[in-house]
Amino acid sequence: MIQYRGMKRNIVILLIILTAFGIVGCLRVAADDLYSLPQLSEEYLRLQSQLNAVLSQGAEFSPPTGGPNRQAVQLKDLNGNGVDEVLAFFSVPGASTLQIYIFEMIEDEYSIAEIIEGVGDAFESVRYADMDGDGIVEIIVGWQMGAALKTFSIYSTRDLHSVLLAREEYSELAVYDLSGDGNDNVVTLRLPTQESGAAAQLYTLMQDGEIISSQVRLSTGIEAIARVMTGILTDGVPAIFIESEGRYDEGSLVTDVLTVRNGEFTNISIKGISGVSEDTVRARIYSSDINKDGIVMVPIPRLLKAQSDTAYYAIDWYAYNSTGIIRLALTTYHNNFDEWYLILPSDWRGRVSVRREDIVSGERTVIFSYIVSDEGPYEDFLKVYRLSGEIGVERASLPGRIRLMSEGASTYAFELLASPNSFGLTFDETLIKENFRLIYSDWLAGTT
């Protein structure tokens, strides 16, 4: 039994090593084939021996629970010599002790170079960044301290010896070149407390090894941070977008836009005395780089004139420049139920309404109409279809319909009900094809 358990543990370690070195992703391994996995080279088998030695002391693998790097064993060239070091993450049960073992390769064999030790329930995250451009990677570790408390540490790894540069509490953390000088910064976010409001802290590593930090406030009234995005502003300046939940008159979501302007860490979206980024308060729709040009835009729903009691909305997408000036960049109509959206030409604004018409089974239709006057009538000029099932492709080819695309069991098509560019509106077959998109969940669900 002891021999079997030891063999089982070695198989687990081998799978972790294979995953770290990118091998498992290329394999499909059945349970009966675990004992016939590809043989690793001698240095990797010695690494397995090193990991076994740590485990034999009572430690357990403890991979980070969040962030971009979630493997129990990770590879990273920390000192810039072109050879990856191995970082292994462990916990000591019952002791609230967390350990990061750094193994370096010397003469084709891995040996322990450093052990970073901290206190916590789990590794919340780990990130790697060259914060001062010297080719040496800093390690940013998030430590989970109970259900609510998190602290982070920044470690220098020069000569593969860790030196603690900074340690603070945080709610969320991002690594991004916010200052635009080619070096990564660390940005931490903190929720409000009884003593202070919500804030963001920017950490910069200077050439002499000193960490400097600066702080800006986030919107008053936020209760939870829902999402953190990075991107650029309309003038190409890097920025970070903080999406937070709160209770506001105009909605439950607010976006703070942070950047470095004239060397100062700045929240460019807070204006006036309210302490809230008022231009961005809205219903729960997340900011997005919706047209994939690198510029993150903030969506503001706008109620359309309706032909029924059902409410339909266009979404106006606003973009910032580094001075805080906001402008309307584009407008869309999103059909979340049918998972598509349409970029609307600017001359449709205030002149077009929308309604649904689901009469035929397996066929869902949205109709766009020209508003002749405030009292009506409405002139239909465009139908967009989502067709389901095996007959979807066939129904997309009915007379007058133009097929757009198929996705899974759904086929999308449209039909022009009026001559192109009627009513002084810009529309034709080419425009509808170019402006039609499928919805993916990141902008709606807040995933990253």
Query: How do residues 388-410 score in pLDDT, each as one tens digit?
Result: 988 888 999 999 999 999 999 99
Helix-helix angle 42-55:2-20, to 10 degrees: 120
Query: How do residues 186-240 score in pLDDT, each as one tens digit?
Result: 999 999 988 899 999 999 999 988 999 999 999 999 999 999 999 999 999 999 9
CB 99 within 8 A of CB 117: yes
CB 60 within 8 A of CB 90: yes
Q: How far apart are CA 125 and CA 127, in angstroms?
A: 7
CA distances from 204 to 151, 213, 308 (A): 18, 6, 55
Query: How do residues 295-307 score in pLDDT, each as one tens digit?
Result: 999 999 999 988 8
- 15 band by pLDDT with thresholds 50, 70 and 90: low
Q: In what order do the strands lie in the sheet with 363-371?
A: 352-356, 363-371, 378-388, 410-416, 401-407
Which position has the token pair 């002149």? Answer: 351
Sign of the CA dihedral running 61, 64, 65, 70: negative
CB 175 within 8 A of CB 140: yes
The two three-digit tokens of residue 87, written as one number: 């970082």
Q: What are phi and psi of 424, to 5 degrees?
A: 75, 15
The pLDDT score that the predictor gives to residue 10 is 60
**Is the backbone peptide bond immediately before 64 cis, with ω within 30 degrees of 0?**
no
Q: Is the pLDDT score of 31 beyond 70?
A: no
Read off the amino acid at residue 149.
Answer: L
The pLDDT score that the predictor gives to residue 140 is 98
Q: Is the pLDDT score of 60 beyond 90?
A: yes
Q: How far apart are CA 229 and CA 180, in angstroms?
A: 16
Q: Give me the mean pLDDT over the 380-385 stretch.
A: 97
Contacts of 392 by beta carbon, 8 Å cutoff, 6+ apart: 362, 406, 409, 410, 411
Query: How do residues 95-145 score in pLDDT, each as one tens digit?
Result: 889 999 999 988 878 899 999 999 999 999 999 999 999 999 999 999 998
Percent of the chain exceeding pLDDT 70 equals 89
Distance of CA 4 to the CA centre of its chain: 42
The pLDDT score that the predictor gives to residue 27 is 45
Q: Which of 225, 251, 372 is nearest to 313 (CA)?
A: 251
Query: How do residues 241-261 score in pLDDT, each as one tens digit?
Result: 999 999 998 889 999 999 999
Q: Is the pLDDT score of 24 beyond 90?
A: no
The pLDDT score that the predictor gives to residue 20 is 60
Which position has the token pair 């992703």? Answer: 25
- Bridge-based pairing of strands 60-61 and 436-438 is unpaired
Mean pLDDT of the residues in the chain = 89
From 37-46, 52-61, 140-149, 423-432, the region with the lowest mean pLDDT:
37-46
The pLDDT score that the predictor gives to residue 109 is 83
The two three-digit tokens of residue 390, written as one number: 């095996």
Cβ-in-10-Å burial (0-12, 13-18, 19+) of 289 comes to: middle
Q: Give me the mean pLDDT over the 332-337 stretch.
A: 94
Count of C-beta atoms within a 10 Å radius of residue 399: 5
The pLDDT score that the predictor gives to residue 9 is 60
The two three-digit tokens of residue 86, written as one number: 């191995």
Query: How do residues 431-445 score in pLDDT, each as one tens digit?
Result: 999 999 998 765 444
Sign of the CA dihedral running 177, 178, 183, 188: negative
Q: Is the pLDDT score of 36 beyond 50?
A: no
The pLDDT score that the predictor gives to residue 194 is 86
The pLDDT score that the predictor gives to residue 291 is 86
Count of C-beta atoms within a 10 Å radius of residue 345: 15
